[in-house]
Amino acid sequence: MGNFDLCIAMMAAVTSVIPSALIVINAKGQILHMVVSKYSEKKCRRFAEKELFRIVKLIFGMRNADMVYNTYKECCYSGAPRELFKLEHITARGLKEYFQWHFFPDPSTGNTIIFVRNITETTLLTEEFLHITEQYATVNQELRVAMSKLDLYLMDLEQAHKKLAALYRITAIVQKTVNENEVLNEILEGITRELGFTCAAILLLDKERQELTIKAHRGYSNNVRIPLGKGITGYAALTGQLIYVPDVRHDPRYIKGTHDGVSEVAVPLIVNNEIIGVLDVETNQAKRLQDYDLDLLRSLASQISMTIAHANHVSRVELQAITDGLTGLYNYRYFQTLFEREFKRAVRYKRPLSLLMIDIDYFKLYNDTYGHRQGDHIIRTIAKIIRQNCRDVDIVVRYGGEEFAVLFPETTVDEAFKIAERIRMAVAEYPFANKHSQPGGILTVSMGVAGYPYDAQSETELIDHADMALYRAKRTSKNRVCLYRDHPDVS
């Protein structure tokens, strides 16, 4: 094996570990060989002799296709490797994906090796780290500004020292803790214990209901709901301004939250100029708060806003990592994790577990006839039909291409068969566009079902046997559900 062949073999092995693709094209830009993560060899062969840059244009758009083509030409003319460090792509759901493209020429054959790597997760985490770093710098600057405004001649030096020390302790905890609930509770604990406030609460804005609800608190009840614009906290959320009431007994806006409250401060929580909630504190002391007290609360409100924004962003990134961008279903990688967990649970507790494999009949014919946009619409619609006809506990996955899988915990094969039949009929009866041009005049799916413990004793067996049942359904009449136990090769 030559060095060039060895290079291809090594990069092909990489595709089994990280999301990537290996493509070999000739001087005409036609695909000679392709290996793609999660794609079978059979599926990859479908792209043989296809024009690569036409496919790139369909998937990534004209602008990105031009960048890929120009880099490829530079590689060909120079005879040296070339790289596209970060190509940005917007999915059908409006989510960003990022890819690295590496081009390697082979002077002996005139071919070019292209290695494409999905770097979305790495890029998003890097951007998030930079974003959080900038936010921490802003908060620290606010702390310095707040400290500079302290009038050391008009305040008690001992009290100032205690409050600043408390603020530093609270912010240190925030920077060391990554769990959102832990951070918020530590902040409230510091506000009541270190800063001397009787009660403290973090309320988040429910945009649909237009009301504030308790996220975490000290000294209030759990079921507090305040309409936007009502009370002191609601008014702070409505106006986006800090509201300080020295004596709530004389303010008609006050909504009683504690039996001995005297003064109240409501500080809006703001992220990217959008109000997401309110930090509310009360004290039972008649002593008037100073400007530095309010500045400290503003700094803490910034910490809280940053913590909530970070938690929301991490949740979105995690969701994007485990879901399919076209259908919103779980992706194949996350399916492997869920499948391993559910199979071990079924074995441990001796409970049934069924697996349904689904394939769209004659999908290539429909896709080639009406184009990828219509084909994507078919995949999204069928994914929705499958989800609507399954239970909340069922795990629905886009397995790859036009294939889906459904994992049924605590479900026998007979029970899974009934659900599969319901899905099959719902797809066959759906008024898909151009369905009458399909063989038989309808657009259908074929399915295979296998179950633990009667059909399989291992994870691999369960997948293989469900796939065999699907193959039998495809090989016979299509538009049917086959059970593995009915396969003639099963004893």
CATH superfamily of 123-318: GAF domain (3.30.450.40)
- 128 has pLDDT over 80: no
Mean pLDDT (the chain) is: 83
Predicted local confidence at residue 362, as pLDDT: 93
- 175 has pLDDT over 60: no
Q: Where in the chain is the domain with CATH 3.30.450.20?
A: 3-118
Q: Where in the chain is the domain with CATH 3.30.450.40?
A: 123-318
What token pair was written down for 241?
């301004």
Question: Which residues touch 208 (CB under 8 Å, ≥6 apart)?
Answer: none
Across the range 413-426, mean pLDDT stands at: 96
**Which ranges of 156-281 would DSSP assign to H, the alpha helix?**
157-176, 180-193, 231-239
Q: How do residues 74-86 score in pLDDT, each as one tens digit?
A: 998 888 999 988 8
What token pair was written down for 294?
């309010």
Q: Where in the chain is the domain with CATH 3.30.70.270?
A: 332-486
Distance from C-alpha of 256 to C-alpha of 200, rounded to nearest angstrom: 13
Most confident of 171-175, 237-241, 481-485: 481-485
Distance from C-alpha of 415 to C-alpha of 381, rounded to nearest angstrom: 24
Least confident of 19-28, 129-138, 249-258: 129-138
Predicted local confidence at residue 1, as pLDDT: 47
Q: How do residues 343-379 score in pLDDT, each as one tens digit?
A: 999 999 999 999 999 999 999 999 999 998 999 999 9
Reply yes or no on whether 264 is catalytic. Answer: no
- 158 has pLDDT over 60: no
Question: Which residues touch 346 (CB under 8 Å, ≥6 apart)?
Answer: 352, 353, 409, 452, 453
Residue 153: pLDDT band with limits 50, 70, 90: very low
- 137 has pLDDT over 60: yes
Model pTM? 0.49
- 30 has pLDDT over 80: yes
Question: Which residues touch 50 (CB under 8 Å, ≥6 apart)?
Answer: 30, 31
Predicted local confidence at residue 354, as pLDDT: 96
Q: Where are the beta strands (DSSP E) in 272-338?
A: 274-283
Across the range 401-430, mean pLDDT stands at: 95
Residues paired with residue 212 on neighbouring β-strands, in sequence order: 205, 226
Distance from C-alpha of 328 to C-alpha of 361, rounded to nearest angstrom: 21
Distance from C-alpha of 294 to C-alpha of 154, rounded to nearest angstrom: 15
Distance from C-alpha of 100 to C-alpha of 173, rounded to nearest angstrom: 38
Predicted local confidence at residue 17, as pLDDT: 72
Q: How do residues 286-323 score in pLDDT, each as one tens digit?
A: 667 777 778 878 887 887 787 777 777 777 777 777 88
CA angle 312, 242, 292 (to 5 degrees): 105
Distance from C-alpha of 115 to C-alpha of 33, rounded to nearest angstrom: 12
Predicted local confidence at residue 152, as pLDDT: 45
Across the range 17-33, mean pLDDT stands at: 85
CB 441, CB 477: distance < 8 Å: no
Predicted local confidence at residue 228, as pLDDT: 87
Say if strands 445-452 and 481-483 run parallel, antiparallel, or are unpaired.
Answer: parallel
- 479 has pLDDT over 90: yes
CB 449, CB 481: distance < 8 Å: yes
CB 360, CB 402: distance < 8 Å: yes
Predicted local confidence at residue 283, as pLDDT: 81
Q: How do residues 218-255 score in pLDDT, each as one tens digit?
A: 877 767 788 888 888 888 989 989 988 888 787 888 88
**Which ranges of 35-179 would DSSP assign to H, the alpha helix?**
41-45, 52-60, 62-78, 120-148, 157-176
Backbone angles phi, psi at 403, to 5 degrees: -105, 145
Distance from C-alpha of 248 to C-alpha of 256, rounded to nearest angstrom: 9
- Enter the DSSP assignment of 298: H
- 162 has pLDDT over 80: no
As assigned by CATH, the class of the 332-486 domain is alpha beta
- Whether a cis peptide bond, with omega within 30° of 0, leads into 453 is yes
Q: Active site residue: 402, 421, 429, 459, which one?
A: 402
- 176 has pLDDT over 70: no
Predicted local confidence at residue 298, as pLDDT: 84
Q: Does domain 3-118 have CATH number 3.30.450.20?
A: yes
DSSP character string of 308-357: HHHHHHHHHHHHHHHB-TTT-SB-HHHHHHHHHHHHHHHHHHT--EEEEE
- 90 has pLDDT over 90: no
Task: Starting at the earlier edge strand, list the strands of the sheet with 445-452.
Answer: 395-400, 403-409, 353-360, 445-452, 481-483
- 491 has pLDDT over 50: no
Across the range 112-137, mean pLDDT stands at: 80
